Structure 1
Amino acid sequence: MARSSADDMELKRACEAGILSKEKVPEKVALSMRVAKGRVGPPRGLGIAGKLTSRHNQGMAKPRVLAVTTKAKGQKTKAFLRVLKYSNGGILEPAKVYKIKHLHKVEVASSDPSGCTFILGFDNLKSQSISPPQWTLRNKDDRNRLLMCILNLCKELLGGIPKVVGMDIVEMAIWAKENTTTKVTQVSTKDGPIESVFGEVESQVTVEKDLVSQAEEEDIEALLGTYVMAIGEAEAFSERMKRELVALESANVYALMETESVVEEVLQGLEVASICVEDMDEWLGIFNIKLRHMREDIQSIEWRNNRLELQSVSNVALGEELDKLLVFLQIPPEYEESLTGGSFDEGNMVKNTEACEWLTSAIKNLEASNLDPCYAKLRAVREKRAEFVLLKCTFVRRAAEFLRNYFPSLIDSMLNDKGNFSQKGQLQRPDHADMRYKCRKYARLLQFIKSLDKSCLPPLRKSYCHSLNLLIRREAREFSNELRSSSKVSKSSTPLFEGPAGANQSAGITDSSADAYSKMITVFIPLLVDESSFLAHFMCFDVALDASDSEENSTSPRSSEASGSSVKPSSSGADIGVLNQCLQELLDGIQEDFYAIVDWAFKLDPLSCIAMHGITDRYISAQKAEVAGYVPVLLDDLETRITILFGRFVDDACYQIEKYERNVRQVGVVPYIPRFSQLAARMEQYINGSRDLVDQAYTKIVTIMFVTLEKIAQVEPKYVDIVLLENYAAFQHSLYDLANVVPTLAKYYHQASEAYEQACSRHINLVIYIHFEKLFQYARRIEELMYNMSPEEIPFQVGMSKVDFRKMLKSSLTGLDKTINAMYRKLQKNITAEELLPSLWEKCKKEFLDKYATFLKLIAKIYPNETVTSVNDMRDTLAAL
């Protein structure tokens, strides 16, 4: 017979390792067996889906390992049934754990003829609708070993065993006795340590004591022995039982015969009772007919009474409904005067508002959708609805006419007060707080006008925008004029690129013209934003505001966001278009005063465009959340105008550089290079925020400068490199400090440095070849011959013999001191910037030594035995001069 998995010690150790990896307190594995997991049929109440699921589960047996474990916790011992599954790597890992104390039923599956499949029922399962798993073992002995272990633990630790279905407990006990050798151990319980019987079934696996104790078994055997002793043989016992049965039947017949008289008396009594019952039935029939007639009379009375009660209730309800309807149809006297001819002064606005609320609700209540259909057809209701509509038209017309006159009169009063505007020597910041306070008193009235008749709003909006536009434009004009007249600025002589050098130095500026623009935009942009937000709210546009409009004008560029400048569209896109049109009417024309400030500042100092552009860009960034409005458009136009003006200044500077005199030989540094450094220094002082505008100007001007320099240098080809190296050196010297902090200038600084090095290299090579022409021409001819022949063949060529070499060497190196001095004087002759001469001479000596070292390497290959001045000697000679 195949060995049972319960005897597999490797399996047991694998189970202990898998459980130990998940539990902190170690558990002892009493028994472990390999099983197959399946599902039983669906529980009651499941439909077709449950049947399909059960069939699917039955057809998929999964390999599992059941482990019975115990864990000591203090003086108590707990038992568990653990289900372990195989991971992808073939390692056992815990899948589920059941507490033995919750086991209430053990059932052997009847569908398995072998009896190796069983089901364990636990009373603490959360979902009883899910069918419990069924476990299948290889043979019946494995099944008995596992179940005996579980039942013994239940009896040992819990004092009883669960319900067992499908197998005989006695047979299980007999099997355990035949296959178990017992040994006594101690098991700790809550009452202290007790002796427990364990069994060893053909292995080291222990099973706790039998289901039937020894004492109980002895009592059963004694009882059975007594019963067998009393019966004797089976045939005698059968005969005895037959005789007793015949005797009992005879006794029963005799007893029946003795009770015949009693039976007759009972029959007579039953007959009398039957007659009485028939009489009673006749009487009951008569009473039933009378009761039916009485019930019909009562129903007729109740029906008439119910109709009277229903009529009475209906009359009461009708009276109540008519009273409610009359409330809708009557105009309260306190509201009638306000709606027909009351005043719209500030003191009466509370009463007018209440009257509007009542009229709005009354018209809404009399609408067919809000009224009972039977009432909607009444003539009184129709007439009253028409009267309310006429009253609404009258009130809206009066209110709209009042507001159309009120807005211009309010603005006229402010226009007539000169204290509201800037005067000579005094800048006046616009203050609309009092005007808005007065307008807010009529905000509720405007909302009712919109709900009653939307067609009245456009004329009101037009009147308000036109009146307020006059006020804002005058405030801006007076503020702009006074700002320009009070700003003490002198016209700046911005350094440009024409005239003699040093003539265009910057004059002292007492106040920057950009400050005037900054004051203008700081004061009026938040004001315009607040007015836009107030218009959208006050004139009942269906747009969402981020916050309520601010009463105070902040000086911060971000104040527009804090004051509710962000106007976001709601579901109606048409309102956004109408709002934009109103904002155009409200603020149109004010841009001229901003343009005047910009043009004035540009005339005084073109570089002020840089500061104005930075200020405008910051305000545009603050207005990014603005969806609808005139202010972002105004800011964009200002930025465009400033950019165009500054571009005109840059184009003028480039034109002056391009028209520089090219027909006269240029000596020294061109004037526009130092002037550019002055211009760049001033431009950096004006940068306030984004530097894109300045970087674009740098790119355009420097590019023109370099191109023009190359053209100027070509006028005299003999001095091209001298002009280039002097001017590129001057460019680097003048912009050294700025290039360290400005990335754009740093790029052109490196470009000038590369051009300077190239010009130096060309000029130095020219000077060297002039004074040592024969030496290096001889080296060049050797290099050309080496392409086609070996070094040993070159001395045999015409003009390349050792004699020719010695003649060439003597003519080139004789009077070396004079030649080197002449080379130095050649460098010194054409350089106007004396500070460049030392570095040029050092580069010249280094270049000459490099070429001379290359020449000696060629000579060593061609004329290895000839004596030539070494590089070190030549270096010493150069150092001594």
Structure 2
Amino acid sequence: MAKSSADDEELRRACEAAIEGTKQKVVMSIRVAKSRGIWGKSAKLGRGQMAKPRVLAISTKAKGQRTKAFLRVLKYSTGGVLEPAKLYKLKHLSKVEVVTNDPSGCTFMLGFDNLRSQSVSPPQWTLRNVDDRNRLLMCILNICKDVLGRFPKVVGIDVVEMALWAKENTPTIPKQLGNQQDGPVEVAVAEGDMKVTVEKELVSQAEEEDMEALLGTYVMGIGEAEAFSERLKRELQALEAANVHAILENVPLMDEVLQGLESATNCVEDMDEWLGIFNVKLRHMREDIESIETRNNKLEMHSVNNKSLVEELDKLLERLRIPSEYAACLTGGSFDEARMLQNIEACEWLTNALRSLEVPSLDPCYADMRAVREKRAELDKLKSTFVRRASEFLRNYFASLVDFMISDKSYFSQRGQLKRPDHADLRYKCRTYARLLQHLKSLDKNCLGPLRKAYCSSLNLLLRREAREFANELRASTKASRNPTVWLEGSTGSSQNVNNADTSTVSEAYAKMLTIFIPLLVDESSFFAHFMCFEVPALVPPGGLANGKGGPNDNDDGNDDDLGILDIDDNDSKSGKSTAELEALNESLRDLLDGIQEDFYAVVDWAYKIDPLRCISMHGITERYISGQKADAAGFVRLLLDDLESRISMQFGRFVEEACHQIERNERNVRQVGVLSYIPRFATLATRMEQYIQGQSRDLVDQAYTKFVTIMFVTLDKIGQADPKYADILLLENYAAFQNSLYDLANVVPTLAKFYHQASEAYEQACTRFISTIIYYQFERLFQFARRIEDLMYTITPEEIPFQLGLSKMDLRKVVKSSLSGVDKAIATMYKKLQKNLTSEELLPSLWDKCKKEFLDKYDSFAQLVAKIYPSENIPSVKEMSELLASM
């Protein structure tokens, strides 16, 4: 057998060297393998579960009269040297458990009660063989008993086996070696103590006395084993002879017992024969009973089935029965208002009867029965008859209602009296048949198409008649003087006064037309959508108004669209709307309302003829109504408003085009002088347009401004090009007039502000050109001489310039004498020429100031050139010239 690592002296010395300085003595050291649960069947060999070589060392430390015991774990460093890894105090050892998953029994765990993380499983220690394991554990247990005075809990190993192993493996060591101080003696003494401890634990004093007494009864003073064996043999022979003698004495009793057994056997055989006979009879009886039970079960099943069949047939017959009162009502009943409740009940019964004969409600096995097919055909015939009769009645009813209202002239607007259309009575009469239409839809959806067309064609006549009479009376009762469209003509006349006439009644009339009819058309669209069973959401919420404005005049009845009915079919709900349904509704609304737009167009055209600028107000009114139309089903009303907006924009566009042509005609006239007539007229027009905007139609007006001003500026440039001599004067006067007339509006209108700045730049450019022309006219030789000097300074040095042809000092004196000898008269001539050419007197002071400043700047440049090129020459200084100009 290989030597145990517990006897390895080198290992013990390595351990002592590793814990040197701790004042601890190594009692035992042994090599082990450390792992964490690698013996489990489901365990996976990971990096943290691989066995690692370690050394367990048990050490003690004396502290006064007490001795402390430790369990040290040492690991091998990179160089193979042992170093401390962990330290456990044996006073905290609570459990010693041998792992049962290890079939060799060489793996155990040590449980300590002071570990911080109890959720982490303690390490498992594996030794080479069971002897090493027992040797280590016995050493730990003895130290716990001697040092701590208690034992830890031992799990997975028998203490008796441990005691037997300790008894067999305790070495015999002379007592004389007990006083030696080396390590092995301490181990032997510990193991000897261990033996005594285990024996004392196995057998108590009382048990030992009982065992000695028992052995004494068998020994009986015989000291040798051979004599004891001979005695036992003699006693055995004596006992066997006594047993044979007892058997021979009991033979007569045995014979009696045998006879009793034979008679009992005969009785048993007779009983077996009788039982066989009874078994046959019972088998036959059991077969008869089973046959009877089978027949009874079949009869009972037939009875139950027949009862169920009768019940099902009764239910089916009840479904197939047609009540006579419903049949009479469906085939020939009246549709008067008093009879509508009976008609609705008949429709509900017919709908339920047809539904009950369909497969979801009816068992599929009944669907092909002859009686069911015949009854279904009869119900279909009833349905078609009733649908035909009801549809014909409703078509005639709608036409009669409208004819009655059209025939009454007092219902419409008359001369001197505007009549607001009132459809409350019409809708009340139609609501009587709303439930009927719902049932007709559930019975036959195809019948709704002709009914919708009939309703639309009848009501369309009424709506168009109402709109025509209202529009005619509205125009007739509105008093407004007509304004001509000649706004920007060049000729002057009394039209300017006409343009100032108040035409607000025109736009008020248009607003009244929309206020009356747009909510009416929206309400009619909503009522039609619900009355004719379209699967669309409500156009107007209860109590709401279509145009987004409140007031008693906007809507007579906010709940006109509420028909007071519930959905009959769960599938016909508002949430189930589809694109196809919306398309069908909008197509019907076109039939209902088409043609009424002509009367709105007539009002727009009438208003345009009276005052084209009122198109701005009407455009803003229309925009407000468009923003209030949100419902999908009000498609035609939204299209009508869009068309009105387009028509108003088109009419206003005509006005803008005509005004632009009037501006362009100015260039064909004879030579233009002074401020053109369309400049101040445009300011008046813009002021009027801004008054009509009222917060709306900003884009429409801005586009008109852009066209007007663009044409005005282009025309002004063309007129100026026709006479280049006076072009700058014409431009600066007209651009100045444009700025003066639009100063206030440009501060609040961004579009006009842009053109104001454009005119300001053009004015400055024209002023600069005009002033330069006047200055050069009087002082051309002086400044021409300066320009020649400036041109030569790019090529030659200033010292060489006086030697050039025409630029000598003599030439300079001639130019100065001819130009500046009468400079005051020349300047006065400039002022007169400026005054003569200008037609706008208010521009003269600012232009003269610009002229003097421009001349002084040019003369300053000339003086600097002379001082640089001709330093010895004297000319009038800039200060003298400035004083002269200031005195002019």
What TM-score, normalized by structure 2, do the two folds share?
0.72
Which of 387, 392, 397 is matched with 1:396 structurally?
387
**Could you tell me whether the CA contact under 8 Å between 1:433 and 1:551 is conserved in 2?**
no
After TM superposition, the structure 1 stretch with the greater mean CA deviation from structure 2, 856-865 or 704-713, is: 856-865
User: Residues 245-284 of structure 1: matches in 2 within 5 Å?
Assistant: none
**What residue in structure 2 maps to residue 845 of structure 1?**
852
**Could you tell me whether the CA contact under 8 Å between 2:350 and 2:383 is conserved in 1?**
yes
**What residue in structure 2 maps to residue 867 of structure 1?**
874
* CA-CA distance at 1:582 after TM superposition: 1.8
User: Residues 809-848 of structure 1: matches in 2 within 5 Å?
Assistant: 809-848=816-855
- Please tell me whether Structure 1 or Structure 2 has the larger radius of gyration of its CA atoms: 2
Alpha-carbon separation, structure 2, partners of 1:644 and 1:774: 60
Alpha-carbon separation, structure 2, partners of 1:870 and 1:173: 131
**Could you tell me whether the CA contact under 8 Å between 1:512 and 1:608 is conserved in 2?**
no
**What residue in structure 2 maps to residue 586 of structure 1?**
592
* CA-CA distance at 1:176 after TM superposition: 13
> In the superposition, relative to structure 1, how do residues 37 and 620 fare at CA in structure 2: closer, same or farther (>3 Å)?
farther
**What residue in structure 2 maps to residue 674 of structure 1?**
680
Which of 689, 694, 709 is matched with 1:702 structurally?
709
* CA-CA distance at 1:345 after TM superposition: 1.5
Aligned residues: 726
**What residue in structure 1 maps to residue 661 of structure 2?**
655
**Could you tell me whether the CA contact under 8 Å between 1:544 and 1:568 is conserved in 2?**
yes
Is structure 2 residue 677 aligned with structure 1 residue 685?
A: no
**Could you tell me whether the CA contact under 8 Å between 1:495 and 1:678 is conserved in 2?**
no
**What residue in structure 1 maps to residue 303 of structure 2?**
312
**What residue in structure 1 maps to residue 516 of structure 2?**
523
**What residue in structure 1 maps to residue 335 of structure 2?**
344
Which of 267, 284, 304 is matched with 1:293 structurally?
284
Which of 476, 492, 511 is matched with 2:467 structurally?
476
Alpha-carbon separation, structure 2, partners of 1:355 and 1:592: 45
Alpha-carbon separation, structure 1, partners of 2:459 and 2:591: 9
* CA-CA distance at 1:539 after TM superposition: 1.4
**What residue in structure 2 maps to residue 155 of structure 1?**
113
After TM superposition, the structure 1 stretch with the greater mean CA deviation from structure 2, 567-576 or 507-516, is: 567-576
Letter matched to residue 580 of structure 1: N
**What residue in structure 2 maps to residue 611 of structure 1?**
617
**What residue in structure 2 maps to residue 114 of structure 1?**
53
Alpha-carbon separation, structure 1, partners of 2:450 and 2:84: 99
> In the superposition, relative to structure 1, how do residues 292 and 584 fare at CA in structure 2: closer, same or farther (>3 Å)?
same
Q: Deviations over 1:444-474 (max 9, x none)?
A: 2112222222332222112111111111111
Which of 448, 451, 456 is matched with 1:460 structurally?
451
Which of 738, 747, 750 is matched with 1:740 structurally?
747
Which of 213, 223, 226 is matched with 2:197 structurally?
223
Which of 627, 634, 654 is matched with 1:621 structurally?
627
Is structure 2 residue 351 aligned with structure 1 residue 412?
A: no
Which of 657, 665, 674 is matched with 2:671 structurally?
665
Is structure 2 residue 377 aligned with structure 1 residue 386?
A: yes
Which of 505, 514, 517 is matched with 1:512 structurally?
505
Letter matched to residue 733 of structure 2: E
For structure 1, the 5+ residue unaligned runs are 8-35, 45-50, 62-108, 118-135, 183-216, 232-236
Query: 3-state DSSP class of the match of 1:497?
Result: coil
Alpha-carbon separation, structure 1, partners of 2:580 and 2:277: 87
**Could you tell me whether the CA contact under 8 Å between 2:626 and 2:638 is conserved in 1?**
yes
Is structure 2 residue 805 aligned with structure 1 residue 767?
A: no
**What residue in structure 1 maps to residue 430 of structure 2?**
439
Alpha-carbon separation, structure 1, partners of 2:877 and 2:91: 107
Q: Deviations over 1:396-452 (max 9, x none)?
A: 111111111111122223223444322333322222222222212212211222222
Q: Percent identity?
A: 57
Letter matched to residue 682 of structure 1: R
Q: Deviations over 1:664-689 (max 9, x none)?
A: 22221011000000001111111142
> In the superposition, relative to structure 1, how do residues 665 and 256 fare at CA in structure 2: closer, same or farther (>3 Å)?
farther
Is structure 2 residue 602 aligned with structure 1 residue 596?
A: yes
Alpha-carbon separation, structure 2, partners of 1:799 and 1:841: 33
What TM-score, normalized by structure 1, do the two folds share?
0.72
Alpha-carbon separation, structure 2, partners of 1:255 and 1:519: 148
**Could you tell me whether the CA contact under 8 Å between 2:401 and 2:426 is conserved in 1?**
yes
Alpha-carbon separation, structure 2, partners of 1:255 and 1:166: 62
* CA-CA distance at 1:370 after TM superposition: 4.3
Letter matched to residue 648 of structure 1: R
> In the superposition, relative to structure 1, how do residues 877 and 548 fare at CA in structure 2: closer, same or farther (>3 Å)?
closer
Q: Deviations over 1:550-599 (max 9, x none)?
A: 58866646989x9899x999665444443233212211111111011001
For structure 2, the 5+ residue unaligned runs are 1-10, 20-33, 57-73, 95-110, 126-132, 148-190, 206-211, 220-224, 562-572
Alpha-carbon separation, structure 1, partners of 2:119 and 2:702: 93
Which of 536, 546, 552 is matched with 1:544 structurally?
536
User: Residues 188-267 of structure 1: matches in 2 within 5 Å?
Assistant: 223-224=197-198, 226=200
Letter matched to residue 836 of structure 1: L
Alpha-carbon separation, structure 2, partners of 1:644 and 1:458: 38
**Could you tell me whether the CA contact under 8 Å between 2:547 and 2:628 is conserved in 1?**
no
Is structure 2 residue 740 aligned with structure 1 residue 715?
A: no
**Could you tell me whether the CA contact under 8 Å between 1:769 and 1:776 is conserved in 2?**
yes
Is structure 2 residue 864 aligned with structure 1 residue 857?
A: yes
Letter matched to residue 525 of structure 1: I
After TM superposition, the structure 1 stretch with the greater mean CA deviation from structure 2, 429-438 or 624-633, is: 624-633
**What residue in structure 1 maps to residue 643 of structure 2?**
637
Is structure 2 residue 439 aligned with structure 1 residue 448?
A: yes
* CA-CA distance at 1:497 after TM superposition: 1.6
Is structure 2 residue 481 aligned with structure 1 residue 490?
A: yes
Q: Deviations over 1:625-663 (max 9, x none)?
A: 536632222222212211111111111101111111545
**Could you tell me whether the CA contact under 8 Å between 2:536 and 2:581 is conserved in 1?**
no
Letter matched to residue 114 of structure 1: P
**Could you tell me whether the CA contact under 8 Å between 1:591 and 1:634 is conserved in 2?**
yes
**What residue in structure 1 maps to residue 418 of structure 2?**
427
After TM superposition, the structure 1 stretch with the greater mean CA deviation from structure 2, 841-850 or 659-668, is: 659-668
Alpha-carbon separation, structure 1, partners of 2:393 and 2:435: 15
Which of 311, 314, 333 is matched with 2:324 structurally?
333
> In the superposition, relative to structure 1, how do residues 144 and 834 fare at CA in structure 2: closer, same or farther (>3 Å)?
same
> In the superposition, relative to structure 1, how do residues 489 and 550 fare at CA in structure 2: closer, same or farther (>3 Å)?
farther
Letter matched to residue 809 of structure 2: K
**Could you tell me whether the CA contact under 8 Å between 2:138 and 2:194 is conserved in 1?**
no
Alpha-carbon separation, structure 2, partners of 1:410 and 1:626: 29
Letter matched to residue 742 of structure 1: V
Alpha-carbon separation, structure 2, partners of 1:39 and 1:474: 100
**What residue in structure 2 maps to residue 755 of structure 1?**
762
Letter matched to residue 604 of structure 2: V
Alpha-carbon separation, structure 2, partners of 1:486 and 1:825: 62
**What residue in structure 2 maps to residue 74 of structure 1?**
none
* CA-CA distance at 1:147 after TM superposition: 10
Q: Deviations over 1:283-332 (max 9, x none)?
A: 76665544433332222221111111111111111111111011111112
Letter matched to residue 647 of structure 1: G
> In the superposition, relative to structure 1, how do residues 169 and 392 fare at CA in structure 2: closer, same or farther (>3 Å)?
farther
Is structure 2 residue 507 aligned with structure 1 residue 500?
A: no
Letter matched to residue 630 of structure 1: F
Alpha-carbon separation, structure 2, partners of 1:707 and 1:359: 80
Q: Deviations over 1:517-545 (max 9, x none)?
A: 1111121112112212222221123x321
Query: 3-state DSSP class of the match of 2:536?
Result: strand
* CA-CA distance at 1:805 after TM superposition: 1.3
> In the superposition, relative to structure 1, how do residues 292 and 849 fare at CA in structure 2: closer, same or farther (>3 Å)?
farther
Alpha-carbon separation, structure 2, partners of 1:322 and 1:437: 46
Alpha-carbon separation, structure 1, partners of 2:680 and 2:748: 18
